[in-house]
Amino acid sequence: MISGFGRIFAGWVLLSVALASASPADIGDDLTQLLSAEVPGIAAAAYLQGEVVAAGVAGYRKVGSPEKVTLEDRFHLGSCTKSMTATLAAILVKEGEISWSTTCGEAFGEMKMNSAFRKVTLKELLTNTGGLPTDVPSQLWHRPFAKNNCRKIS
């Protein structure tokens, strides 16, 4: 069941795509109504055929801060990337590019990896049953998410 926030956001995205124009629409005012005490700031963008058709921000950088969120700010997505990754994988499966049984070895060819992971399937990765360690050292994430490696979308 979609939450109230989910319905508002989904409706907004559909409307934004329907009203797509040459320059991105500013949707900051629309985002303001999605804020709550637990979410001090929010940013969103809608893409249509590879182009940004709407983008906006609302709220503050952190609870109690007078500093407003900007389109240039980077957000920590945390566990949100899990659902994004699963969605992208499902799209690739639907398009026939890969299957749920595609292994890491098949997908990444000769890329250097632990040999035990070559037989792990997409399904196993997405259901956390592929045998990967549960506690990955935090320093593993420092380099990929360093400031210079982040990509600006607006």
Q: Which of 40, 30, 36, 29 is nearest to 10 (CA)?
A: 30
* pLDDT computed for residue 64 by the predictor: 86
Residue 43 DSSP symbol: E
Q: What is the 3-state secondary structure (H, E, C) of 55-112?
A: EEEEEECCCCCCCECCCCCCCCCCCHHHHHHHHHHHHHHHCCCCCCCCEHHHHHCCCC
Residues 61-101: pLDDT tens digits?
Answer: 888 889 999 999 988 777 788 888 899 999 999 999 999 99
- Say if residue 14's pLDDT is above 70: no
Read off the pTM: 0.50
**Token digits for 11?**
């409706």
Residues 27-56: pLDDT tens digits?
Answer: 777 777 777 667 788 888 888 888 888 888
Cβ neighbour number for residue 42 with a 10 Å cutoff: 19
- Radius of gyration, CA atoms only, the chain: 19
Ordered by start, the domain boundaries in the chain are 1-74, 76-132
Q: What is the DSSP string of 8-29?
A: HHHHHHHHHHHT--SSPEE-HH
